[in-house]
Amino acid sequence: MDGFPILSLMMAVPMAGAIACLFAGASGARWIALIATLVDLVLGIALWINFDQGGLQWQFQEYYPIFGRFAWALGIDGIALMLIALTVFLMPICIGASWEAIQKRVPEYMAAFLLMEVLMIGVFAAQDLYLFYIMFEAGLIPMYLVIGIWGGADRIYASYKFFLYTLLGSVLMLIAMMWMVHEAGTTEIPVLMTYNFDPHVQTWLWLAFFASFAVKMPMWPVHTWLPDAHVQAPTAGSVILAGVLLKMGGYGFIRFSLPMFPEASAQLAPLVWGLSMVAVVYTSLVALVQSDMKKLIAYSSVAHMAIVTVGLFAFNQAGIEGSMMVMLGHGLVSGALFLCVGVIYDRLHTREINRYGGLSINMPKYAVLFLLFTMASVGLPGTSNFVGEFLSLMGIYQASSWVALVATTGIILGAAYMLYLYRRICYGDQSNADAAAMPDLTAREIALLAPLAAATLWMGVYPESFLAPMRADVRALEARLAPAAPAGDSKMTMGAPKPAGEGHHEEAPAHGEAH
């Protein structure tokens, strides 16, 4: 595939689809959108197959300097590959989820989603700083329209909040980017990733980028746009928001904040840790008392994203790989959970948890799949999130055992709110007659949830498929961070292997040394 512009093609297909949708009728637009996203899925698989693991860091590079000051420069490493794979995997599911739920202004809806796919792939594939920014910001337009036109009752407030919050976060990043480009004399991201900025300036640059990524992520206390946006957005909008758009924040940390400003990252890591610790505990507790299903899952997303930031700012391979796995796993699982909510919302048109109950009796298939995703969200071993959360926490333990301690409570609290949610919806008496009369999953809904279930299990049972493409890139990042990384407080050392035949009492001193 040398020289074949597959990344541009992956962006061109949904773009063409989006334009075609605008000129089609409702059912035509649905099929165009489905076909375009499926073609992109096939291209994404081809991309993964042709990705040379352990080869060059940047692959499938394209460079066309057609914009004057910046270029159409694309290229991916393993990290971007995984996130692009997640995007193209979720998009057909989103289109499928909107097949019947969206009845008004279908062509525009499908066009907005396809445009979003273009921009998401663009964000992950961009190799030019300004191109990245344009893709990153442009995503606001389709999402604003999706929330505002097809959202729930309070959609207008939510759409404004989403737009202005994320815009305000991002504009400062642009100023920092301009400064960097003038300083380094290039807009190429790979070059900037190895450029050593003055550590004093790094702090300012880091903060400017942080303002953007923290909002996008979202981190406490700038997470408040997320529950509103999620609750009001249509199901597919929530899926793509939780599944991919939030990952742009994490991707930003991996691609920009950490490698470009290693000293500032180390210096400000306690800030990130502190915000993440608050987020884990606080948003989990908030999730526990929600009566709205979507809001509950939205708050759980904030808690999960805090585990991601904790892992990223562990400055070691385990932490960063774990963060990536949490992002991928959360992309699948939270997407699936929003779909599960969408399934019953389509039947009863309410998100109130109390209006349901005992669904395992009349919707057994649904109950099984919902249980699987609930368990995955909790982080049960064998599911995707376990791998990521375990690695992240292991990574942060090396950097700060206190942070690890607090962040781990997130797993327990996560189990509490998710199992409590599941109990109220699927178990208990069928106290609501209309909820008890709901039919089980249709073939279409099973077709949407089954691939997600399969991927969740695959990621949990054999995470190597997902870790392998990223490994070299994460190692490179770890090496870049190594000189600046803060010294850990756990001071772990490798235990000396015990000579055979000796008793347990020998273990005690070795254990003491490790602390």
Partner 1 sequence: MIDHASLLAVLPELILTAGGLALMLVAAFAGEGSARVVNWLSVLTLAVAGIALSCSLAHGPVAFDGLVRADAFSVFAKTLIYGAAAAAILLAPRFFSVDGAPRPEYPILILFAAIGMGMMVSAGDMLMLYVGLEMNSLASYVLASFMRQDTRSSEAGLKYFVLGSLASGILLYGISLLYGFTGSTAFDGIAVAMGDGVSKGELFGLVFVLAGLAFKISAVPFHMWTPDVYEGAPTPVTTFFASAPKVAAIGLTVRVAIEALGPAGLDWQQIVIFVALASILFGAVAAVGQTNIKRLMAYSSINNVGFALIGLAAGTPAGAAATMSYMAIYVIMTIGGFACILQLRDTDGNAIEKIADLAGLSQSRKGLAAGLAIFMFSMAGIPPLFGFWAKFLVFDAAVASGLTALAAFGIAMSVIGAFYYLKVIKTMYFDEPTVAYEAKGGPVENIILTACAVVIVLGYLLNPVLDQASAAAAASLF
Residues within the interface to partner 1 (CB under 8 A): 66-69, 105, 108, 130, 133-135, 137-138, 140-141, 144-145, 148-149, 155-156, 159-160, 163-164, 167-168, 171-172, 174-175, 178-179, 182
List, in sequence order, the alpha helices (H) in 151-234: 155-184, 189-192, 199-216, 225-232
Q: How many CA atoms lie less than 13 Å away from 362 in the CB half-sphere?
A: 19
Distance CA 88, CA 41 (A): 5
For 210, the token pair is 């942080």
Scan for tokens 């698989």, then name that residue. 45
Sequence-ordered list of residues with C-beta below 8 angstroms from that of 355, at least 6 positions apart, any chain: 348, 432, 435
Smallest distance from partner 1 to CB 105, Å: 8
Smallest distance from partner 1 to CB 507, Å: 57
- For partner 1, give the closer residue by CB, 171 or 514: 171
Smallest distance from partner 1 to CB 267, Å: 20
Distance CA 412, CA 303 (A): 12
Q: How far is C-alpha 301 from the geometric centre of its chain's CA atoms?
A: 9
SS3 376: helix
- For partner 1, give the closer residue by CB, 170 or 284: 170
- For partner 1, give the closer residue by CB, 70 or 251: 70
- For partner 1, give the closer residue by CB, 36 or 134: 134
Smallest distance from partner 1 to CB 205, Å: 11
Of 460, 475, 235, residue with least CA distance to 334: 235
Sequence-ordered list of residues with C-beta below 8 angstroms from that of 88, at least 6 positions apart, any chain: 10, 37, 40, 41, 43, 44, 117, 121
- For partner 1, give the closer residue by CB, 161 or 347: 161
- For partner 1, give the closer residue by CB, 136 or 373: 136
Is there a contact between 343 and 388 (Cβ–Cβ < 8 Å)?
A: no
- For partner 1, give the closer residue by CB, 182 or 504: 182
- For partner 1, give the closer residue by CB, 52 or 154: 154
Distance CA 230, CA 232 (A): 6
Smallest distance from partner 1 to CB 372, Å: 37
- For partner 1, give the closer residue by CB, 68 or 512: 68
Smallest distance from partner 1 to CB 202, Å: 15
Distance CA 52, CA 375 (A): 34
Smallest distance from partner 1 to CB 166, Å: 10
- For partner 1, give the closer residue by CB, 62 or 440: 62
Sequence-ordered list of residues with C-beta below 8 angstroms from that of 407, at least 6 positions apart, any chain: 276, 277, 280, 306, 307, 310, 392, 393, 396
Smallest distance from partner 1 to CB 77, Å: 24
Is there a contact between 76 and 84 (Cβ–Cβ < 8 Å)?
A: yes
For 3, the token pair is 């020289």
Is there a contact between 286 and 302 (Cβ–Cβ < 8 Å)?
A: no
Distance CA 21, CA 24 (A): 5
Is there a contact between 46 and 210 (Cβ–Cβ < 8 Å)?
A: no
The amino acid present at 391, given as its one-letter code, is L
Smallest distance from partner 1 to CB 148, Å: 5
Distance CA 71, CA 63 (A): 7
DSSP assignment, residue 78? H
Smallest distance from partner 1 to CB 149, Å: 6
Smallest distance from partner 1 to CB 161, Å: 11
Of 462, 310, 481, residue with least CA distance to 400: 310
Distance CA 373, CA 377 (A): 6
Strand 59-67 and strand 70-76: pairing? antiparallel
- For partner 1, give the closer residue by CB, 178 or 289: 178
Compute the chain's Rg from CA coordinates.
Answer: 23
Smallest distance from partner 1 to CB 330, Å: 27
Smallest distance from partner 1 to CB 4, Å: 23
- For partner 1, give the closer residue by CB, 67 or 427: 67
- For partner 1, give the closer residue by CB, 141 or 288: 141
